[in-house]
């Protein structure tokens, strides 16, 4: 039975891994592109871009559950940050600068959409149970 169950799932797993990786790659590109625009947060944006790209490559390379959960964590943290930066004026926290921007602009919408898509696909991958 387990061989049949995994065979039934196998067409979806590679597609979902590609969706996760693509969402994280878009997120990485947007953060790398915007890094120069945020002098006080440039290194934070570049770190996010690097972590997102690394998670994307890991998901493509193997797609193990722990890797997929890491990708979900990266996407969820980035999505939480972009939504919080829009709606909540948290102010600077330790070495992190104040990122409050009470507006949605195209790059922010693209990043949030990519992060949400990657998160949902990663959760689907992580929660899969062969039947």
Which pLDDT does position 10 carry in this prediction? Answer: 67
Q: Which residue has the tokens 């934070």?
A: 44
Mean local confidence (pLDDT), 93-106: 91
3-state secondary structure of 99: coil
Give the Å distances, CA to CA, from 115 to 12, 21, 45, 98, 128: 20, 10, 14, 21, 20
Task: Assess whether pLDDT exceeds 50 at residue 4.
Answer: no
Give the Å distances, CA to CA, from 25 to 11, 92, 118: 22, 27, 9
- 126 contacts 69 by C-beta, under 8 angstroms: yes
44-90 tens-digit pLDDT:
999 999 999 999 999 999 868 899 999 999 999 999 999 999 999 99
Range of the domain at 27: 2-127
| Domain tally, the chain | 1
Q: pTM here?
A: 0.88
Question: What one-character DSSP code corresponds to residue 97?
Answer: P
Which pLDDT does position 123 carry in this prediction? Answer: 95
Which pLDDT does position 5 carry in this prediction? Answer: 47
Percent of the chain with pLDDT over 90: 76
Residue 10 tokens, joined: 């196998």
Nearest Cα to 86, choosing from 68, 107, 63, 69? 107
């Amino acid at each position: 039975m387990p061989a049949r169950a995994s065979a039934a799932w196998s067409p979806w797993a590679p597609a979902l891994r590609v969706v996760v990786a693509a969402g994280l790659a878009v997120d990485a590109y947007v953060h790398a592109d915007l890094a120069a625009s945020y002098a006080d947060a440039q290194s934070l944006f570049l770190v996010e871009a690097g972590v997102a790209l690394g998670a994307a490559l890991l998901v493509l390379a193997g797609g193990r559950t722990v890797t997929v959960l890491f990708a979900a964590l990266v996407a969820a943290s980035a999505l939480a940050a972009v939504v919080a930066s829009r709606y909540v004026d948290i102010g600077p926290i330790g070495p992190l600068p104040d990122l409050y921007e009470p507006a949605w602009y195209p790059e922010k919408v693209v990043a949030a959409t990519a992060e949400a898509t990657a998160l949902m696909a990663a959760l689907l991958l992580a929660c899969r149970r062969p039947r």
